């Protein structure tokens, strides 16, 4: 991608990005060339997931559409063809991971929330292997509340209070236990365990009072504003059933974290500078404060106050020899001090004004001692790509530069001021919201009022810059009377791909910055840019040639690869490698190793539980080789950065939704459309022990004509020898097993669930086998169809219950590499005819369609039926076109 540089702007001249200019070959030009080359070789991907709802209940499906863009083109990504999506619980443990195929930057999938999951604050995280090079800070990582009324007997409400004594923090917790009707669990014994940062700091037992309350108190020496912890409470009900509830501990104090950010980066003597302030409470949310700035002599310099979610700013003109402190007054009257950065004796101040709706102005102030030192450059970047370079002379202390907003792309712009020595001396972020970059998505034929179960036929018309456009759109319809919108915090394609995807850290209610383009919204967004910080890369890494090279390759297809070596580790060239599986029908592929012993089966398509057997031989067809499968290490789960979105009382926060969804789930259960797990009272059952643990026997583990166990295999060299004479009517020859009555037809071998043929017997080490089940009779072989005609040996290894890859013998491995998830189809009923008896329709997601492509005319049609529930229905449309422009539109209508 070619970089466009902007010519020098004159004093007070409005500049545009309409023409290019190349500097003479100099060190700064070389620096820009290095940056351009790095960006071309290392484009960055960003992911957004459009979720059908802002929160969920156990029993729901989470439906989502993935949009993946490439910052080098600002269009749908062609870098990666595989996406990983994870459901992560409050303990930062991955409960579900699915792998999805990506085509032209698009994919979609779902998670089923089974009743084996507890309620809590879950995260949905999405990334590609290529994105791992930039780090998990830039993954899609959304915290969602998942409540449970359907299978939940006990609801909790927790309140914390804090105090401090002798440098220790004291936490007093009152937990109220009730049933779904709000009735308290009185006189119920509770055992509890308190953990902070995975360490138990308190445990005990107690009894709930008449209000269902239990008090848990603990202390800590931790001073962190935010602490990851939990209280695990186990109730023993009257029927002896034990109910375990996990309650988040977000903090151990009510301290306030305060940060101060001089605009551009530094405070300079005698140069007025804007200083931004950000105050965050222990819940991870901004808290507005007021106070004064005092100098090192205690003199009050100026008052200040924050105006938006704990963020604000003030102008300070630092004086020589002075240091400054912010003296903050909190709501409870307490005072907290925060030191401002040290004042430098000389330097540069970069100030950017982004509040005008038409232009961006940049002001540069220079210390008197740095005048006439040479030329400075102001570099403007978008998505790590240089959009403009503006020259600034040092003849005057003040320089002003302007840019037309209509020529600037939407998203974060990064301003960097380079001094005459080509060293960065100031940085600033701004956000541009250019309406010309957004697709207008109109719905035709939408009425204001509909009846229950009425058909809603609609047509989507997409236009970009007033012209029809081809794109892919996702549509979610919910009833706002049941699923109350969370407009400022629900998943939003504009937020993910233009704002949060380029910033580290938690952003509170990010969608608020896209509600409108008013001056107040621009002011609030500019405060965020002043305080959030930039972190995609550092100029010093470019200048010092210390940028790290990608560790993870972009995945283009599913593959199985590895290396074949001698037992001593020497690579074997030209070795024959075979890959086979019986998933969806038996198939086998062959290839040869290269000069370094590598082999690769790529461009494969298979399901997420597919098992493969790999067999290798050297060039002389000898099997005594070692196979090592290539494995990409898993992505670690970092602590939840969305601290402000963590809800201590999840069920209470979405109580209306989970109670209304309970009736829907019960109705589905009665109709056999939803499975529910029942906990039985404890009983002692005496039964025969299953003799074939982890067996893949289709008849059921242990249902065989004979079973040979590991203890019977310890004295033989190979399995042919182990079987010979052990089972009536079974003989072995040439490494195959036969039933005498079957006229020379060999028995098929099922190894850990995979059909490996009939001649695989002696490739399996006897010491690796847990059981061999011999299927001879028609009753046991019938389930295997024609392949079972000669009999079946079901062999289960000692590792048969595990995944990964397992070595059975020299030259043989079995692997489950993890394939594509089979996406569920969203069910939408059709009410085309009147029915005498109708089941109640209480769907919480009325309609979901992850992929509605528009034609060359920019249109597409779809329809759905309303449910039996009245209310205001909400239609959320998101999408993207081939130019990378985004769409988000919300429509509503009433159902009577």
The token pair that represents 640 in the structure block: 């939840």
Instruction: Give me the DSSP letters along 792-821.
Output: EEEEEETTTT--SEEEEETTEEEE----B-
| Position 835 confidence tier, pLDDT thresholds 50, 70, 90 | low
- Mean pLDDT value across residues 787-794: 90
Give residue 481's pLDDT: 94
Q: Quick one: average pLDDT of 780-805?
A: 78
Q: What are the phi and psi torsion angles at 748 (to 5°)?
A: -80, 150
The whole-number pLDDT of residue 520 equals 94
Question: In the prediction, which pLDDT does 803 show?
Answer: 43
What pLDDT digit, counting tens, does each position of 660-715 carry? Answer: 888 888 877 777 766 665 544 444 434 444 567 778 888 888 899 999 988 888 77
pLDDT at 490: 92
The conformational region for residue 333 under phi > 0 = left, psi -120 to 50 = alpha, else beta, is left
pLDDT at 514: 93
Let me know: does 559 contact 604? Beta carbons within 8 Å.
yes
Average pLDDT over residues 638-660: 91
Tokens of 167: 């440098």
| Residue 501 C-alpha from the chain's centroid | 11
Read off the pLDDT of residues 502-558 as tens digits, 9 standing for 90 and up: 888 899 999 999 988 889 999 999 999 999 865 555 677 777 777 778 889 999 999
pLDDT of residue 49: 98
Q: pLDDT over 70 for what percent of the chain?
A: 92
Contact 759, 718 (CB under 8 A): no
Q: Residue 451 pLDDT > 90, yes or no?
A: yes
Phi first, then psi: what are they for 755, rounded to 5°? -75, 115
Tens digit of pLDDT for each residue in 851-861? Answer: 999 999 999 99
Distance CA 720, CA 434 (A): 74
Judge whether residue 5 has pLDDT over 80: no
Is the predicted pLDDT of residue 6 greater than 60, yes or no?
no
User: Residue 225: what pLDDT?
Assistant: 64
What is the pLDDT, as a whole number, of residue 877?
Answer: 98
Find residue 845's DSSP bridge partners: 478
User: What pLDDT score does 347 carry?
Assistant: 95
pLDDT given for residue 8 in this prediction: 39
Q: 407 with 379: CB under 8 angstroms? A: no
Give residue 540's pLDDT. 73
Q: Which two tokens stand for residue 300?
A: 């009050």
Residues 6 or more apart whose CB falls under 8 angstroms from that of 599 comprise 561, 562, 563, 564, 575, 577, 591, 592, 593, 616
For 797-811, b where at least 16 C-beta lie within 10 A, e where not — what string?
Answer: bebbeeeebbbbbbb
Mean pLDDT estimate for the chain: 88
Residue 585 has pLDDT above 90, yes or no: no
Question: What is residue 168's predicted lDDT score, i.e. its pLDDT?
Answer: 84
Percent of the chain with pLDDT over 90: 60
Residue 399 scores a pLDDT above 70? yes
Instruction: Give yes or no for residue 606 having a pLDDT over 70.
Output: yes
Q: What is the pLDDT of residues 841-877, one digit of tens each?
A: 889 999 999 999 999 999 999 999 999 999 999 999 9
pLDDT class of 896 with cuts at 50, 70, 90: very high
pLDDT of residue 2: 36
What pLDDT shows up at residue 10? Answer: 36
Q: Edge-to-edge strands of the sheet including 558-565?
A: 598-604, 558-565, 626-629
Q: What is the dihedral of CA 478, 484, 487, 492, to 10 degrees?
A: -40
At residue 680, the pLDDT reads 45
Average pLDDT over residues 21-32: 69
Range scoring the smallest mean pLDDT among 152-161, 295-304, 623-632, 671-680: 671-680
CA 47 to chain centre: 9
Q: Of 182-196, 386-400, 799-813, which gets the smallest average pLDDT?
A: 799-813
pLDDT band at 228 (very low <50, low <70, confident <90, very high): confident
3-state secondary structure 827-860: CCCCCCCCCCCCCCCCCCEEEEEEEEECCCCCEE
Q: What is the structure's pLDDT at 808?
A: 59
Q: What is the mean pLDDT of residues 645-662?
A: 90
pLDDT of residue 630: 92
Mean pLDDT of the 810-835 span: 84
- pLDDT of amino acid 14: 41
Name the more confident of 113 and 253.
113
């Amino acid at each position: 991608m070619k970089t466009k540089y902007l010519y020098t702007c004159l004093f007070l001249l409005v500049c545009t990005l309409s023409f290019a200019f190349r500097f003479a070959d100099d060190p700064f030009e070389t620096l820009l060339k290095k940056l351009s080359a790095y960006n071309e070789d290392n484009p960055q991907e960003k992911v957004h997931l459009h979720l059908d709802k802002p929160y969920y209940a156990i029993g729901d499906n989470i439906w989502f559409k993935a949009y993946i863009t490439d910052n080098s083109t600002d269009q749908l990504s062609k870098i990666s063809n595989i996406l990983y999506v994870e459901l992560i619980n409050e303990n930062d443990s991955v409960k579900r991971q699915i792998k999805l195929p990506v085509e032209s930057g698009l994919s979609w999938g779902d998670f089923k929330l089974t009743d084996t999951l507890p309620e809590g604050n879950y995260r949905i995280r999405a990334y590609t292997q290529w994105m791992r090079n930039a780090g998990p800070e830039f993954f899609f990582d959304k915290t969602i509340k998942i409540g449970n009324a359907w299978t939940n007997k006990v609801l909790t409400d927790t309140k914390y209070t804090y105090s401090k004594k002798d440098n220790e923090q004291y936490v007093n917790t009152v937990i109220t236990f009730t049933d779904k009707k709000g009735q308290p669990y009185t006189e119920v014994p509770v055992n509890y365990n308190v953990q902070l940062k995975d360490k138990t700091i308190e445990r005990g037992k107690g009894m709930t009072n008449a209000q269902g309350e239990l008090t848990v108190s603990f202390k800590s020496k931790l001073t962190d504003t935010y602490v990851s912890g939990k209280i695990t409470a186990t109730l023993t009900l009257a029927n002896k059933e034990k109910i375990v509830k996990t309650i988040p501990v977000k903090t151990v104090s009510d301290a306030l974290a305060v940060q101060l950010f001089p605009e551009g980066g530094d405070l300079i003597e005698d140069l007025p500078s804007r200083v931004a302030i950000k105050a965050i409470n222990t819940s991870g949310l901004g808290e507005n404060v007021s106070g004064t700035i005092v100098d090192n002599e205690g003199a009050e310099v100026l008052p200040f106050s924050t105006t938006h979610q704990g963020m604000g700013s003030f102008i300070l003109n630092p004086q020589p020899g002075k240091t400054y402190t912010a003296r903050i007054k909190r709501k409870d009257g307490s005072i907290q001090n925060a030191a401002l950065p040290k004042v430098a004796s000389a330097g540069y101040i970069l100030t950017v004004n982004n509040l005008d709706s038409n232009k961006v102005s940049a002001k540069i102030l220079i210390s008197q001692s740095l005048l006439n030192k040479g030329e400075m450059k102001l570099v403007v970047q978008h998505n790590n790509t240089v959009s403009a370079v503006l020259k600034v002379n040092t003849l005057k202390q003040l320089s002003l530069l302007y840019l037309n907003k209509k020529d600037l792309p939407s998203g974060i712009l990064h301003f960097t001021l380079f001094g005459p020595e080509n060293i960065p001396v100031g940085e600033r972020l701004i956000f541009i919201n250019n309406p010309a970059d957004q697709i207008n998505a109109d719905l035709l034929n939408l009425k204001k009022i509909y009846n229950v179960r009425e058909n809603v036929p609609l047509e989507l018309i997409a236009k970009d810059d007033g012209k029809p456009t081809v794109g892919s759109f996702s549509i979610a319809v919910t009833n706002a009377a049941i699923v109350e919108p969370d407009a400022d915090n629900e998943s939003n394609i504009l937020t993910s791909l233009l704002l949060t995807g380029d910033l580290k850290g938690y952003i509170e209610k990010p969608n608020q910055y896209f509600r409108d383009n008013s001056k107040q919204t621009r002011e609030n967004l500019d405060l965020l840019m002043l305080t959030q910080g930039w972190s995609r890369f550092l100029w010093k890494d470019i200048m010092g040639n210390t940028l790290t090279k990608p560790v993870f390759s972009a995945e283009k297809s599913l593959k199985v690869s590895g290396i074949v070596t001698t037992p001593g580790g020497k690579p074997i060239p030209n070795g024959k490698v075979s890959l086979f599986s019986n998933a969806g029908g038996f198939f086998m592929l062959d290839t040869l190793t290269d000069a370094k012993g590598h082999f690769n089966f790529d461009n494969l398509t298979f399901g997420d539980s597919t098992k493969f057997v790999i067999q290798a031989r050297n060039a002389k067809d000898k099997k005594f080789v070692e196979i090592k499968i290539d494995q990409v290490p898993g992505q670690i789960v970092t602590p939840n950065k969305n601290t402000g979105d963590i809800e201590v009382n999840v069920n209470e926060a979405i109580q209306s939704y989970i109670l209304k969804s309970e009736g829907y789930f019960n109705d589905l259960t009665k109709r056999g459309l939803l499975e529910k797990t029942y906990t039985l009272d404890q009983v002692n059952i005496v039964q025969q022990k299953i003799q074939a643990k982890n067996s893949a026997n289709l008849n059921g583990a242990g249902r065989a004509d004979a079973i040979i166990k590991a203890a019977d295999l310890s004295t033989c060299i190979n399995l042919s020898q182990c079987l010979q004479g052990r089972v009536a009517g079974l003989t072995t020859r040439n490494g195959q097993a036969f039933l005498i009555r079957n006229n020379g037809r060999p028995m098929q071998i099922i190894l850990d669930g995979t059909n490996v043929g009939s001649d695989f017997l002696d490739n399996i080490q006897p010491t690796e086998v847990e059981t061999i089940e011999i299927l001879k009779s028609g009753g046991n072989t019938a389930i295997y169809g024609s392949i079972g005609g000669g009999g079946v040996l079901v062999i289960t290894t000692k590792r048969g219950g595990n995944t990964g890859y397992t070595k059975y013998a020299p030259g043989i491995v079995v692997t489950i590499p993890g394939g594509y998830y089979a996406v569920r189809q969203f069910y939408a009923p059709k009410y085309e005819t009147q029915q005498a008896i109708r089941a109640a329709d209480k769907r919480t997601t009325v309609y979901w369609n992850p992929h509605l492509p528009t034609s060359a005319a920019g249109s597409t049609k779809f329809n759905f039926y309303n449910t039996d529930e009245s209310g205001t229905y909400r239609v959320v449309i998101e999408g993207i076109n081939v130019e990378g422009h985004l769409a988000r539109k919300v429509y509503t209508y009433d159902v009577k």
